[in-house]
Structure 1
Amino acid sequence: MISLYKILHTTCHTRWGSLEKRIFNESVWMEKKGHKIIIVAPKDTHLFLKAKKHGFKVYGIEFNKLSIIKDYKLLKSTFYNEKPDIINTHGNKDSRLALFAAEKTRIPLRILSRHNNAHVRNSWYNRRVYKKLCHYIFTTTDYTTKHLQKVFKLKPMQIFSIPNGITEPGHLLEKAKARKALAQELGLDPGTKFIGFVGRVSQDKGISTLLEAFKKIKHKLLGYHLAIAGEGTNEYINSLKSLARNLQIETQIHFTGFKKDVWPFYRALACKVLPSSLDIKGVPFEETPQALIEAMICECPVIGSKNDGIVDIIDHEKTGLLFKTNDSSDLADKILQTLQYEGITKERIKTARDLVKKHHTIDAMGRDIIRIYRLHQIKMEKQYLF
């Protein structure tokens, strides 16, 4: 029985979000345990460049519609030459090509990772991908696991919910210093306090609901400002600035852009809000949010909408507070509860941090994944013997 594996990850995605962070952080952890890592991703993307700089072997494949045949041949050639023990695919385009190529080249263990909650149709093609071409499916939320089990009639040992694990920061800035540093960065009074958001700045994140909630209670929150950290399109950010002007809170709303080092930002916040909405079909899109887990480990109180993925992390009134999705009045009430009842909030902060350290670190995630690798290997060796 081999104890160290050669693991190959593929993705068609080009941004630097929780999916790409998951691949990179998991790969670094696996490498430290002695496993060999290969990354296949579109060339010159954040993940490709970061993986290459780290020292992983990388292959650039674009996964474009116009290069399907070329990409498939490149994948088959890569798999044949590298002979990985495990392939893990992470996007729709790369999964369909890479799983076919992996089956043809007889990769021993094939995993399809599903990182969002979008519903999947029970088509002949999807049944082949989800039931035949991969041995296991990894999801990041219980919602997605239950949906796929229902659609494809999957057995419990075919699909696993494995939320993203974070690498705990080695040092955390003292909270008062972090808050004053953020105030200085934004040109504000050193005594300014912050309610914050971290993540992709897009409509589905429900940031407009946060602005509307802040408007309702700003008279009770003297000295508080909203800080929004993350990237978004100019069009959408301008629409939020326009909304802030209409609500007459524009001087208290700040867009910081992407934060390379996000830990001091969490430490500067009096609370972190994730107000994600549903998609147009009423389906919760949110995977298990890494931003919530990061905030919890930084002892920052959290508030989230009742959106699957979020409810996997926030146990209402135990690790944080939940509000009715898209309900700015309910969110406003939850913000006031968090800020005004400090003793109860501190209890939730401790419970949340303990939860993350036990179940949502990179070590916990890595151990769960390795356990599945080992179980599959034992299963295959038993079949070979008999």
Structure 2
Amino acid sequence: MKTFYKIIHTSSRILWGNREKRILCESLWMKENGHQVAIVAPGDSPLFDKAKQNGLTVYPISFKSLARIGEYGRLKQIFDGEQPFVVNAHGKGDAKLALKAAQTMGVLCRIMSRHNGERVKGTWPNKKIYKTRCHYVFTNSKDTTANLKQTFALSDMHIFSIPDGIALPDGAANQTTKTAARQKLAHILGLETDARFIGVFGKIERQSLSMLCKTVDQLGRRFPYHHLVIAGSSEKQAPMDEKIYPHVHMLPQAEENNARLYPALDCCIYLPDTRNFYQGVPLEVTGAMAGFCPVIGPDAPGIRDVLIDNQTGRV
């Protein structure tokens, strides 16, 4: 007999980054598979709005320092009313309050998810989160798991590496679906239907953008049908003039990390954050692989879990 659970996810950020996309994607999958899911997040966050639009139960909570005393009491009320089997925190900002409230209210399964590979210091507050407040720690890479096990002396039954949920493209990738995806992207960018695409994802520093554009402009003379599409924010669009670099395009934000995007690409290049060597497993890399798009990425911890040179991509 299949068991269904009531699960509450918490998030403190007001960003719409990979962490929030993963929370929403996994929550919708859980709901589709019969579980009851609620999300506790700031009322002005994109995650709150998108979860509500998709029919999930939502509770607005501010995890800011000045509001913590009152919000801690509200979290206990939410957990008391919902009686969840699982409370899953997704960052230090929400874990401090959410896991403490869940522990106080006797929630049977408390989880701390770590979505990136950035090193966590072994401070007393962090020890409370990782060793006392939660029953399990979920990471998305073996490297992160090994580091947290060593830092907090966690047992094998306390911490697990679990791939992050991603949205899969509709239907199996084949030549017909890839052609249709390319033509749709060409239409979005105002290009001819025979255009081909290479995608660039990750952390693209402003000073690197000009060099990237010049390199692609030179390649365009040899491969006139290929275009580079960059998933970036509006701040990165300012220094690039598409009249000067007609083969380079900023991807509309509505299309970033869209599962339908990856089948349109002949190749996906992932650029790491140079300020943080420990990447975890980027959402863009697994999303591209799910869309059967070849991936080129850095030789960095976390990414090594899925990107094996000449087997699953190129390092």
TM-score when scaled to structure 1? 0.72
Taking a change above 3 Å as real, the CA distance of residues 211 and 144 of structure 1, as seen in their structure-2 partners, is farther
Check whether the contact 1:85–1:108 (CA below 8 A) recurs between aligned residues: yes
Q: What is the Cα deviation at residue 268 of structure 1?
A: 2.2
Taking a change above 3 Å as real, the CA distance of residues 310 and 13 of structure 1, as seen in their structure-2 partners, is same
Which secondary structure does the structure 2 equivalent of 1:306 belong to?
A: coil
Residue identity opposite 1:305 in structure 2: P
Taking a change above 3 Å as real, the CA distance of residues 155 and 207 of structure 1, as seen in their structure-2 partners, is farther
Q: What is the Cα deviation at residue 259 of structure 1?
A: 3.2
Q: Which of residues 220, 223, 233 is equivalent to 1:221?
A: 223
Which secondary structure does the structure 2 equivalent of 1:69 belong to?
A: helix
Q: Which residue of 2 aligns with 1:59?
A: 59
Larger radius of gyration: 1
For the pair 1:257 / 2:259, whether they are aligned, the reply is: no
Separation (CA, whole Å) in 1 of partners of 2:250 and 2:271: 16
Check whether the contact 1:207–1:275 (CA below 8 A) recurs between aligned residues: no
User: What does residue range 301-320 of structure 1 map to in structure 2 within 5 Å?
Assistant: 301-320=294-313
Taking a change above 3 Å as real, the CA distance of residues 69 and 33 of structure 1, as seen in their structure-2 partners, is same
Check whether the contact 1:89–1:112 (CA below 8 A) recurs between aligned residues: yes
Q: Which residue of 1 aligns with 2:152?
A: 152
Q: Which runs of 5+ in 1 are unaligned?
A: 323-386
Residue correspondences, number: 310
Separation (CA, whole Å) in 2 of partners of 1:304 and 1:208: 20
Separation (CA, whole Å) in 1 of partners of 2:214 and 2:300: 19
Q: What is the Cα deviation at residue 170 of structure 1?
A: 2.6
Residue identity opposite 2:105 in structure 1: T
1:105-147: CA deviation from partner (whole Å, max 9, x where unpaired): 1111111111111111111221111111111101111121111
Separation (CA, whole Å) in 1 of partners of 2:259 and 2:5: 32
Taking a change above 3 Å as real, the CA distance of residues 222 and 52 of structure 1, as seen in their structure-2 partners, is closer
Taking a change above 3 Å as real, the CA distance of residues 155 and 270 of structure 1, as seen in their structure-2 partners, is same
Q: What is the Cα deviation at residue 250 of structure 1?
A: 2.1
Deviates more, 1:312-321 or 1:210-219: 210-219
Q: What is the Cα deviation at residue 305 of structure 1?
A: 1.4
Q: What is the Cα deviation at residue 316 of structure 1?
A: 0.9
Separation (CA, whole Å) in 1 of partners of 2:96 and 2:294: 40
Check whether the contact 1:207–1:276 (CA below 8 A) recurs between aligned residues: no
Separation (CA, whole Å) in 1 of partners of 2:37 and 2:144: 27
TM-score when scaled to structure 2? 0.87
Separation (CA, whole Å) in 1 of partners of 2:210 and 2:147: 29
Q: Which runs of 5+ in 2 are unaligned?
A: none
Moved beyond 6 Å, runs of 4+: 206-209
Q: Which of residues 267, 270, 274 is equivalent to 1:271?
A: 267
Taking a change above 3 Å as real, the CA distance of residues 99 and 78 of structure 1, as seen in their structure-2 partners, is same
Taking a change above 3 Å as real, the CA distance of residues 73 and 268 of structure 1, as seen in their structure-2 partners, is same
Q: Which residue of 2 aligns with 1:109?
A: 109
> Which one has a larger percent helix, Structure 1 or Structure 2?
1
Q: What is the Cα deviation at residue 237 of structure 1?
A: 3.3
Q: Which residue of 1 aligns with 2:188?
A: 185
- C-alpha RMSD over aligned residues: 2.7
Q: Which residue of 2 aligns with 1:9?
A: 9
Taking a change above 3 Å as real, the CA distance of residues 214 and 35 of structure 1, as seen in their structure-2 partners, is same
Q: Which of residues 277, 281, 293 is equivalent to 1:283?
A: 277
Q: Which residue of 2 aligns with 1:367?
A: none
Check whether the contact 2:255–2:261 (CA below 8 A) recurs between aligned residues: no
Between the aligned residues of both structures, percent identity stands at: 38
User: What does residue range 25-36 of structure 1 map to in structure 2 within 5 Å?
Assistant: 25-36=25-36
User: What does residue range 157-176 of structure 1 map to in structure 2 within 5 Å?
Assistant: 157-171=157-171, 174-176=177-179
For the pair 1:197 / 2:207, whether they are aligned, the reply is: no
Separation (CA, whole Å) in 1 of partners of 2:299 and 2:182: 28
